[in-house]
């Protein structure tokens, strides 16, 4: 009986090791095949850029919720919060470090949110708001598929 438990335990341990190594290999392989362009930034700059992107995501969620509730005030406020005012808050030194392709997509995203805010404030057609948001998400996806941030030491 002890011998069976030992063999079963040993076998489970061996399988666990192989699965663990397999997972490490997959992570390493996926990191090494990431062909996105690296944007080298400081740790603080990366944190600021990622914080802005999280704000885009949060605003998108609020726009979706506002659309479901047909609440144009929520939509306008959420979209405006990440619009052109936010873009103007990006430090000039950071802006200079960013590649031209990235700096073309950033303003496009901010203007996209402004368009959503204007629609909410104007006609208030939630179908149009959702169409704008769907189009805006293409810009976000494009940027994320092209670029990644790495901290230079």
Beta pairing, strands 147-151 & 37-41:
parallel
Closest by CA position to 135, among listed 117, 153, 109: 109
Q: What is the pLDDT of residue 1?
A: 55
pLDDT in tens, 92-136: 888 888 999 999 999 999 999 999 999 999 999 999 999 999 999
Residue 21 has pLDDT above 60, yes or no: no
Mean of pLDDT values over 4-12:
56
Q: Phi first, then psi: give them for residue 96, nearest 5 degrees.
A: -65, -25
**What per-residue confidence (pLDDT) applies to 126?**
95
- pLDDT score of 16 more than 70: no
Q: How far apart are CA 114 and CA 139, in angstroms?
A: 14
- Give the model's pLDDT for residue 95: 86
Rounded Cα distance between 23 and 48, Å, is 31
* Whether the Cβ atoms of residue 110 and residue 89 lie closer than 8 Å to each other: no
Give the Cα separation of 95 and 77 in Å (integer).
26
Alpha-carbon distance 115 to 125, whole Å?
12
pLDDT digits (tens, 9 = 90+) for 52-86: 999 999 999 999 999 999 999 999 999 999 999 99
């Amino acid at each position: 009986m002890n011998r069976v438990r030992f063999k079963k335990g040993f076998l489970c341990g061996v399988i666990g090791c192989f699965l663990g190594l397999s997972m490490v290999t997959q992570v390493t392989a996926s990191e090494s095949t990431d062909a996105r362009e690296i944007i080298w930034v400081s740790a603080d700059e990366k944190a600021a850029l990622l914080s802005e992107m999280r704000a885009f995501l949060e605003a998108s969620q609020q726009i979706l919720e506002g659309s479901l509730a047909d609440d144009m005030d929520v939509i306008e406020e959420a979209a405006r919060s990440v619009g052109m005012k936010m873009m103007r808050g990006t430090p000039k030194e950071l802006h200079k470090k960013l590649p031209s392709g990235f700096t073309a997509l950033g303003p496009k995203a901010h203007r996209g949110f402004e368009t959503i805010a204007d629609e909410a404030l104007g006609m208030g057609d939630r179908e149009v708001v959702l169409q704008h948001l769907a189009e805006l998400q293409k810009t976000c996806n494009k940027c994320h598929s092209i670029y990644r941030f790495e901290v230079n030491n």
